[in-house]
């Protein structure tokens, strides 16, 4: 079974050891500090499109239950994942993917208008996202990576209210990490989201009539 990398082992074990020591000496000591990370994926200053679609509303962003925790998740072997209680996301993954995707599409101007959820029935198109996996892959300590995979569904509104799927795409990004630390995993997942949104932007443009 692959063993924990030394750097990550320290991140996971030291806070627990410190807590044990604090309890044995004094109950007045401060608990271990938790570190939070923001998922950042800002669209670079690339040329924007002439809008080819009408109005879009962001639908739901769902996250597979095993990855819906706020803590960073590491894959240790083929079947075992662990969640890091002391290093977590600033906001739930679904909220960060939702807001980042919406801001990216606003900057890209693929659609003429991005409508709020309250006007969903008026939108010409709807984009729904499912996050299949979001984790640090530490199975090989010589080549750790941040892995993100999501499915995107673009649908259009028909004349009688029915919706027609225009795009169903599975997009995965694997970002190499210089070392297996929580900060590197979080940064790698941010790069992975930017990579995926770059490709999603292109696919949306091609899928629109």
Domains of the chain by residue range: 6-207
> pLDDT tens across 70-128, in order?
999 999 999 999 999 999 999 999 999 999 999 999 999 999 999 999 999 899 999 99
- Residues 107 and 143: their CA atoms lie apart, in Å, by 34
CATH 3.40.50.150 fits 6-207, yes or no: no
Q: What is the pLDDT of residue 8?
A: 53
Q: What is the pLDDT of residue 47?
A: 74
In terms of Cβ atoms closer than 10 Å to its own Cβ (0-12, 13-18, 19+), residue 133 is: middle
Q: Which two tokens stand for residue 26?
A: 């004094």
Rounded to the nearest 10°, the torsion over CA 66, 74, 81, 21 is -110
Predicted confidence (pLDDT) at residue 163 exceeds the cutoff of 80? yes
DSSP state of 208: -
Rounded alpha-carbon distances, angstroms, from residue 87 to 63, 101, 159, 173, 190: 19, 23, 48, 22, 15
Lookup result for tokens 């292109």: 202
pTM for the whole thing?
0.82
């Amino acid at each position: 079974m692959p063993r924990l990398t030394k750097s990550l082992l320290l991140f996971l074990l030291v806070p627990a050891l410190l807590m044990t020591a604090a309890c044995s000496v004094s109950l007045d000591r401060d608990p271990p500090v938790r570190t939070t990370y923001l998922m950042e994926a800002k669209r670079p200053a690339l040329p924007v499109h002439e809008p080819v679609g009408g109005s879009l509303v962001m639908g739901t962003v769902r996250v597979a239950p095993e990855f819906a925790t706020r803590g960073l998740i590491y894959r240790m072997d083929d079947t075992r994942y662990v969640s890091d209680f002391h290093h977590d996301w600033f906001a739930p993954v679904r909220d960060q993917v939702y807001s980042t995707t919406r801001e990216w599409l606003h900057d890209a101007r693929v659609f003429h208008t991005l409508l709020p959820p309250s006007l969903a029935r008026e939108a010409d198109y709807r984009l729904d996202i499912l996050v299949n996996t979001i984790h640090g892959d530490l199975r090989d300590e010589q080549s750790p990576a941040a892995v993100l995979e999501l499915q995107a569904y673009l649908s259009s509104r028909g004349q009688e209210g029915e919706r027609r799927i225009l795009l169903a795409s599975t997009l995965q990004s694997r970002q190499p990490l210089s070392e297996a630390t929580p900060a590197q995993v979080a940064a790698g997942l941010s790069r992975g989201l930017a990579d995926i949104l770059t490709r999603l932007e292109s696919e949306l443009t091609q899928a629109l009539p």
